[in-house]
Chains A and B, each alone.
Chain A
Amino acid sequence: MIRILRQIFRTGIVTEPLPPEIEAGILQVGERLEETIRKRFRRSLTIRQVDAGSCNGCELEIHAINNSFYNCERFGVHFTASPRFADMLLVTGPVSRNMEVALKRTYDATPFPKLVVAVGDCGCNGGIFGESYATLGGVDSVIPVDVLVPGCPPPPLALLSGILTAVDGYPGKK
């Protein structure tokens, strides 16, 4: 126990020693995000992540926004185990034919407002895999998409701003 506590104190809050340009970026994005989330989602935005065919690269970066550097939870953004509790779906991958049905069902199980963020080059337009017998291309070929976050894979900051953009545009959503 002592060791754990010592390590925690030794580590401190790691957001501090960030290089200024990155820190400014996170805080700027985060503060805007926090306000919007407080107003529109009663302080918590709940996300369900769906891998619809990615290579796992995007998933690693989505994990990273949960680490103590980006710490998305401080803005009220957190990930849930079920689409039934989700405000937003974060979908990766060139939608594979074998995931098409599962993705549609997940979308159907998600309550309003059903925000959808397509993550990665593959999620945006199919990326290197494109359209083939096994892949259907971008996420928007299967479910409606609100925001695209390109990148292979998109870095954590880009993911955070993508989430913000989707929340920002929320009132316009039918």
Chain B
Amino acid sequence: MSMLSEALREAFPEELQFDHRQHPSRVICCLLPRERFAEAAKVLKKKYALLAAEWASDETLLGKGFSVYACYRWGKEYLIVRSELPAEDPSFPSLTKKYLPAYRFERQMQSLMGVIPAGHPDLRPWIKFEDWPQDCYPLRKSFDSTEPLPRVDGEYQWAKAEGEGVYEIPVGPVHAGIIEPGHFRFQAVGEMVVNLEERLGYVHKGIEKKFEALSWHDAARLAGRVSGDSTVAHSIAYSLAVESISGLTGCNIPERAHWLRALFLERERIANHLGDIGAVCNDAAFAFMLYQLSRLRELLLRTNLRLFGHRFIMDRVFPGGVSVDITAQGRDEILAEMEIVAKDFERLVEVYEESSSLEDRVRDTGVLKPEKARELCVVGIVARASGMNLDCRIFNPFPPYDQYDRLELDVPVKVTGDVHARVWVRVEETRESIRIIRYILENMPAGPISVAVGDPLPETAGFAAVEGWRGEIIYWLQAGRAGEINRCMVRDPSSVNWLGLEQAIPGNIVPDFPLCNKSFNQSYSGHDL
């Protein structure tokens, strides 16, 4: 029995029920009346649990109203608390006062699903722009997603700062660099930022709704396009979630497929980390590092294309396994490539460490303090740079990382929470990934690389968490009465980490914003869905 569910059982002995349709079995789903939804959060907070995700599902096709879900994480445990809401009064007590990340989750739930978080301090729509019709809720089953929406008049209310010398700088959605669109509004005094307000949603493509129109197999392609830079991690997370409810258990997936997935995942991690470290240095006007590191990155992408048929290894992972194997020659090629990359990488890290002008820019800049990071429940690199020891490869290991004795893993944790810490976590992770790739190549079990996976059982729910290069990616899938996709909830690490950026900026000078933003490098597409 898990610690979290035990705590809930003690607090609500009469009311607590367990939902056995949630898979895999180590993820416990508890059912509580909606009046207890926020109280449960209070109980779990006392046990130091973190909020991983919060979402709603329209269950009218399952003969119910709506349900709200909150997923908590504590150490190795995931616990989902579910409350049912009647269709005619879809309100529930807000968790925002207990858990800060619920602030954005609930704004989004209210905007897209039309469930009402009672007691939420700020119900401005999120992702749903002011020119959408007020009463349209795309995630509801009654909504026709194929029709274009009319535009209406409306205005977004920004947070305001007043006083002598305070001025505003609006930035975006079209940015100066080659990056995704989003809007940032700074209130500044002189050079110093007093407040930063983010506004995202520009790349909202209706991904979660689109999932519901696809078959389980086709949806794997969509999952690979939630965030193009994390295509492997998203495909693995989706596939694991499907596999958890498809009547198979994880161990029926061939061992070799798991190892190949890990190989792809670590290659994706290295490629992105190389690009990011270079880009951070470039934003501090140290272009040398960017060009050197993008050269290494390009080497990796070319090997990917040669061996796996795609530079980002897109569409190579699907429920049941992977679609491309590696030959003995391919193995040698990667080992040789790792040799070159590791050698050059170490030389460049030395240059980074010895450059005092660079150090000047990256140290003590954009600090996200550990206590704040904890309060915001951030994940991934951002969390590990701010003193939180989190990594699903260790704490919620998905295969093959669950073979501790074989795939040993070292997680770097820094406590300073500044730009340098986020760069350094990437540096150490790159080293670690190179080591893991070598290990995987030398120890990969032989055998088939995929099996046929049946459609998921009707009215079940699947769950998976995968450590992508940014951090923990969560997929929660619900199968409908006919076994179709009733709801697919995607929680990219960006959904929580963007709040971290907002909190790290005040007190910094305006010209340091690009540097800080790059060190977080969150996905706009993964957040906006």
Contact = CB atoms under 8 A, between A and B. Distances in A.
Nearest to B146: A132
Q: Which of B201, B205, B311 has the most CB of A within 10 A?
A: B205
Contacts of A53: 202-203, 205
A83 B176 CA distance: 9
Nearest to A80: B176
B148 A133 contact: yes
Interface residues of B, number: 59
A13 to B, nearest CB: 11
Contacts of B354: 3
A136 B207 CA distance: 14
A28 interface: no
Interface stretch (B7-15, B178-186, B239-247, B480-488): B178-186
A49 B499 CA distance: 26
A14 B222 CA distance: 36
B16 interface: no
A106 B209 CA distance: 29
Contact of A135 (B127, B147, B206): B206
Nearest to A67: B294
A132 B178 contact: no
A96 B210 contact: no
Q: Which of A62, A129, A134 has the most CB of B within 10 A?
A: A134
Interface stretch (A4-12, A36-44, A142-150): A4-12
Given A55-B525, A67-B298, A97-B149, A60 B312 contact: yes
Contacts of B294: 63-64, 66-68
A57 B347 contact: no
Nearest to B221: A128
A111 to B, nearest CB: 16
B524 interface: yes
A96 B201 CA distance: 10
A136 B418 CA distance: 40
Query: For chain A, what secondary structure do more than half of its interface residues adopt (helix, strand, loop), or is it mixed?
Result: mixed
A51 interface: yes
Q: Which of A8, A93, A127, A133 has the most CB of B within 10 A?
A: A133
Interface string B179-196: 111000000000000000
Interface string B140-176: 0001111111000000000000000000000001101
A122 B500 CA distance: 31
A99 B203 contact: yes
B176 A82 contact: yes
A56 B295 contact: no
B347 A3 contact: yes
A67 B291 contact: yes
Contacts of B523: 56
Q: Which of A55, A61, A83 has the most CB of B within 10 A?
A: A55
B226 interface: yes
A153 B314 CA distance: 9
Interface in A31-90: 49-64, 66-69, 79, 81-83
A9 B229 CA distance: 31
Interface in A94-111: 94, 96-99, 102, 106
B288 interface: yes
Contact of B178 (A14, A59, A152): A59
Contacts of A14: 295
Q: Which of B174, B225, B288, B311 has the most CB of A within 10 A?
A: B174
Contacts of B344: 7
A55 B228 contact: yes
Nearest to A100: B151
A94 B21 CA distance: 36
Interface in B345-362: 347-348, 350-351, 354
B145 A50 contact: no
Contacts of B149: 97, 133
A8 B203 contact: no
Given A3-B351, A102-B174, A132-B145, A51 B181 contact: yes
Nearest to B144: A133
B350 A3 contact: yes
Contacts of B314: 57, 152
Interface in B290-308: 291-292, 294-295, 297-298, 301, 305
22 contacts: A3-B351, A11-B292, A11-B295, A53-B202, A54-B180, A54-B228, A55-B225, A55-B525, A56-B227, A56-B525, A57-B312, A60-B275, A96-B204, A98-B203, A102-B173, A102-B202, A128-B222, A129-B207, A131-B146, A133-B143, A134-B145, A135-B205
Interface of B: 127, 129, 136, 138, 143-149, 173-174, 176-181, 201-207, 209-210, 221-222, 225-229, 231, 275, 288, 291-292, 294-295, 297-298, 301, 305, 311-312, 314, 344, 347-348, 350-351, 354, 523-525, 528
Interface of A: 3-4, 7-8, 11, 14, 49-64, 66-69, 79, 81-83, 93-94, 96-99, 102, 106, 127-129, 131-136, 152-153, 155
